[in-house]
Amino acid sequence: MASSFVPRQVFPTLDSLPRTYFLGHHNAALSKMKSLLSSVDLVIECRDYRLPLTSRNPLFEQLLVGRDRLLVYTKKDLASTGRPSDAKREEIVRRWHRPSQVLFTNHHHRNDVRKVLQYAETFSSQNFSVTGSRVLVVGMPNVGKSSLLNALRSVGLGKGKAARTGAQPGITRKIASSVKISEGKDGSGGVYLLDTPGVFVPYVPDQDAMLKLALCGSVKDTIVSPVTLADYLLYHVNLVNPDLYREYRRPTNDITSLLDAVAHKTGRLQKGGMPELESAALWVIQRWRGGHLGHFVLDDVDDKALERYQRAENNRIPSMNQARKADRAAKKARSY
Ligand SMILES: Nc1nc2c(ncn2[C@@H]2O[C@H](COP(=O)(O)OP(=O)(O)OP(=O)(O)O)[C@@H](O)[C@H]2O)c(=O)[nH]1
């Protein structure tokens, strides 16, 4: 019975979780972005709506000091259902970024995309240049940058896809040439977008943050075990509403028993009828990523949340050497 069920209040500490996913092409992209910034008029920074705090990358904070920036929180459809609590959270997030503007988008929603387009067009007409405006799109891996570019081009010019997109991170590997998304207002020369590869944070000291980023697809699904990720998802789902998986089994804190039920119900069985737990775990994760296992935000957002997060971040930031050392230790522990 859901009424007698007590969800876990804390997720257990894991011994061997990787704490970085900062790849060579992330570093290269960051250097290229630095060199491009002087020729860019506006930066659109994408963050994941489900991770208002955790999808913030301190590397961009350093890089973008003093730049005109629009914050776009993507994948709104996966966490918001228009509840008063969603509106309240969005208001808090808006306050974090003042005076920069914040928009919340579902890239399938033309109205959401139009708001981003209008912002870029207005910005462009106010900063008139005969050659048009250049807008750099940045963000963590898989946050939806290329999808936003395609949606903007479709709404702005009625044209098809210009950038490859995909459910795994790292589809965009290089900064390609700019893509026109609008003719611009009053003959302002148009708006051109530069898509960039997602850049991960150099080191994630916090276990929860790494699990959240992995769950939202910011790291490849081979980096954290799917069963661990599904367990972390179960922990969150139980805190929100354990009835969300009632078609498989009654509320539980035991991931194996849930995956066992899912594997039997969806036919993920080995010869002899043993459940394929990894495959069931990936299926559960995909269901959630597709918006079929509840709509909720993974970060706790209240008025003081950003302040707390930044304080913790400042206390925790290790040197790159410490980060590499910790990562080597985690890899070693995993190989035993
Ligand atoms: N539900 C939903 N899915 C989205 C949205 N925006 C992007 N996606 C999906 O998120 C995944 C990643 O999108 P991409 O546009 O490839 O992400 P990216 O930031 O360019 O990824 P990198 O190549 O790692 O930089 C794709 O499966 C998209 O369909 C959104 O607003 N809502």
pLDDT, block means (10 residues), the chain with 336 residues: 83 91 92 94 97 95 94 98 96 96 97 97 84 94 97 96 91 90 82 96 91 97 96 98 96 98 96 95 97 96 89 67 60 55
Nearest to 198 by CA among 237, 148, 129, 262: 148
Centre of ligand 1 from the C-alpha of residue 286, in Å: 14
The pLDDT tens digits for 83-93 are 999 999 999 99
Centre of ligand 1 from the C-alpha of residue 9, in Å: 31
Q: Which two tokens stand for residue 229?
A: 């990720």
Spatial distance between the Cα atoms of 264 and 275, rounded to a whole number of angstroms: 7
**Longest CA pairwise span in the chain (Å):** 70
For the chain, how far is it from start to end, CA to CA, in angstroms? 40
**ipTM computed for the complex:** 0.99
| pLDDT at res. 130 | 77
Spatial distance between the Cα atoms of 230 and 234, rounded to a whole number of angstroms: 6
The pLDDT tens digits for 21-70 are 999 999 999 999 999 999 999 999 999 999 999 999 999 999 999 999 99
Spatial distance between the Cα atoms of 213 and 85, rounded to a whole number of angstroms: 23
Centre of ligand 1 from the C-alpha of residue 170, in Å: 11
Which pTM was predicted?
Answer: 0.93
| pLDDT at res. 334 | 52
The domains of the chain, with CATH numbers, are: 24-195 (3.40.50.300)
Among 115, 142, 195, 199, name the best residue to mutate to test ligand 1's pocket (greatest count of ligand atoms within 8 A of Cβ): 142
Helices (H) and strands (E) in the chain, counts: 11, 6
| pLDDT at res. 64 | 95
| pLDDT at res. 1 | 47
Q: Where are the alpha helices (DSSP H) in 142-225?
A: 145-157, 207-215
DSSP state of 269: B
106 lines ligand 1 (CB under 6 A): yes
| pLDDT at res. 127 | 80
What's the CA dihedral at 328, 330, 332, 335 to 10 degrees? -140
